[in-house]
Amino acid sequence: MEVRVVTGDITQIDADAIVVNLFEGVEQLGGASAAVDKALGGAISSLMGKGEFKGKFGEVGIVHTLGKLPARMIAVAGLGKQRDFNLDKIRGVAGGFCRSLRKLNCHRIATILHGAGVGGVEPEASGEAIAEGAVLGLYNFSRYKKPDYEDIAEMLIVGREQSEIPVVERGVRKGRIMAEATCLARDMVNEPANYMTPSRMADIAKEIADKHSLELNVFDLEDMEAMGMGALLGVARGSKEAPKLITLSYKGDERSEKAVGFLGKGITFDSGGISIKPSEAMGDMKDDMAGGAAGIAALSAIVQLNPKLNVTAVVPATENLPSGTALKPGDILKAMNGKTIEVISTDAEGRLILADALSYAVKQGLSPLVDLATLTGACRVALGNGYSGAFTNNQELLNEVIKAADKSGEKLWQMPMPEEYKQQNKSEIADVKNTGNKYGGAITAALFLSEFVDNTPWVHIDIAGTSLSSKESGYMVKGATGVGVRTLVELALSLANRERIM
């Protein structure tokens, strides 16, 4: 979909549909909504009076113009309660009205800058949120099934002043970049595991590197053996698919040798290995590389936004399958940093591959580190599907991550990392074991990862509950969410503006 910014009278725009808005509880229309209502002879006000348009968030009311305006229909988008209004509401509104109008066979739509009036939102921020929400809300994974609709081809964002156009266009550009990177991650996660293999993840990273002149390294099995990555290779033993360690680097500050590390779990299919999972919903385990997809996709956006910062994504990628060569419960592995690991469950494999990835990142001097992983069902039990869990050894860094998540609309909740819980990970025959008991599983998993970061500032984000969505809502669609991409990008932009990077 093309997104253009224009100025003019919204009532005179020739389009299939024009979009205005309404706050919940408002009895009298203002601004562009009032102008459209007047041109329609009070049709919107009449429907408000009858309780058909209430302005509730997510509500999209349709009024046909019957030739009174150049547009054939008006969409009245509910903004919800004014006290709850924020940028993420604009994203949600844009995603919702775009899907509604697509169902009504609209190919060219026009919208006002939502929130730029009484909502108190700056035009640039409104343009960014509208573009981001629209692209995300219209997303559809259609590689293997042709959709039964034609997509919206063009959206006009109509401003009031000519001087606003460059500002809004700047916001629209960023919104598109953020959304398209998120959609890339969604595509990767939605791909079936017979296509999205570790090698294919590496190919996508190469495509991004070639397009944007990024530095790419793909380490194969022999390389990992030479580096002593026994934990990652232990997980990979059960699969015929070759494991890959992918690093993708952006150099935005030529004067500095320092680089931030974004790490992502890349299990392209997780059967549980010998500790095999129940068959119910095992097909969803193609999403176990969502963290790795987020890291790769985030770099594709960061390079376009060009912050003065160096960033390297590190993605350990493999399958976790049972076979005659597979890792077994009771086996002992040796990670890259020299620590030995007793394997209690082969289904706790994500932390094993991240142990080597974190060790590698520390050895390379990457700092600070942020990893994303669909790591534990325990985190999903604790926080549901709406929040990712965040763990840290550095509160200052986590505060920055939380601010970035808030700005992007991705919900994070800080989880504790009590020292006494480390007892659950103690092994009688190795330095550490890969699971604790059944209580506090998300915490003990994070504490396991902390064994491999030394004193490097580090945040672990458990996205097990947020990587998939079971329903459409706002700019979310069914399937992969692309969670983490926008948080990582916003974090990079924020860290680039700091005098001191941790």
Would you list the domain boundaries of the chain? 2-162, 180-496
User: From the CB of residue 486, how many other CB atoms can be counted at a distance below 10 Å?
Assistant: 27
Q: What is the largest CA-CA distance in the chain?
A: 81
Domain range 180-496, CATH architecture: 3-Layer(aba) Sandwich (3.40)
| Catalytic pick among 68, 72, 160, 277 | 277
Taking the C-alpha atoms of residue 364 and residue 465, their distance in angstroms, rounded to an integer, is 31
The reported pLDDT for the residue numbered 360 is: 98
Burial 45-73 (b: 16+ CB within 10 A, else e): bebbeeeebebebbbbbebebeeebebbb
For 206-247, the three-class secondary structure string (H helix, E strand, C coil) is HHHHHHHCCEEEEECHHHHHHHCCHHHHHHHCCCCCCCEEEE
Catalytic residue list contains 351: yes
Peptide bond into 368 cis (omega under 30): yes
**pTM to 2 decimals?**
0.97
The reported pLDDT for the residue numbered 117 is: 77
Element (H, E) at 315: strand 310-320
Tell me which of 3.40.220.10, 3.40.50.2300, 2.60.40.10, 3.40.50.970 is the CATH number of domain 2-162. 3.40.220.10
| DSSP 8-state assignment for residue 143 | S
Taking the C-alpha atoms of residue 502 and residue 499, their distance in angstroms, rounded to an integer, is 10
Q: Tokens representing 400?
A: 């920055």
| DSSP 8-state assignment for residue 281 | T
User: From the CB of residue 130, how many other CB atoms can be counted at a distance below 10 Å?
Assistant: 33
Cα-based distances in Å from 495 to 257, 332, 490, 499: 15, 39, 9, 8
The reported pLDDT for the residue numbered 79 is: 96
For residue range 349-396, list pLDDT tens digits in order: 999 999 999 999 999 999 999 999 999 999 999 999 999 999 999 999
Q: Tokens representing 196?
A: 């999205």
The reported pLDDT for the residue numbered 500 is: 77
pLDDT tens string, the chain, 502 residues long: the values are 999 999 999 999 999 999 999 999 998 899 999 999 999 999 999 999 999 999 999 999 999 999 999 999 999 999 999 999 999 999 999 999 999 999 999 999 999 999 987 778 999 999 999 999 999 999 999 999 999 899 999 999 999 889 999 999 999 999 999 999 999 999 999 999 999 999 999 999 999 999 999 999 999 999 999 999 999 999 999 999 999 999 999 999 999 999 999 999 999 999 999 999 999 989 999 999 999 999 999 999 999 999 999 999 999 999 999 999 999 999 999 999 999 999 999 999 999 999 999 999 999 999 999 999 999 999 999 999 999 999 999 999 999 999 999 999 999 999 999 999 999 999 999 999 999 998 999 999 999 999 999 999 999 999 999 999 999 999 999 999 999 999 999 999 999 998 777 7
* Strand 340-342 to 332-334 pairing: antiparallel
The reported pLDDT for the residue numbered 148 is: 87
The reported pLDDT for the residue numbered 196 is: 98
Catalytic residue list contains 277: yes
Element (H, E) at 274: none
Q: Cβ(298)–Cβ(370) under 8 Å?
A: no
Q: Cβ(305)–Cβ(493) under 8 Å?
A: yes
| Catalytic pick among 99, 351, 380, 407 | 351
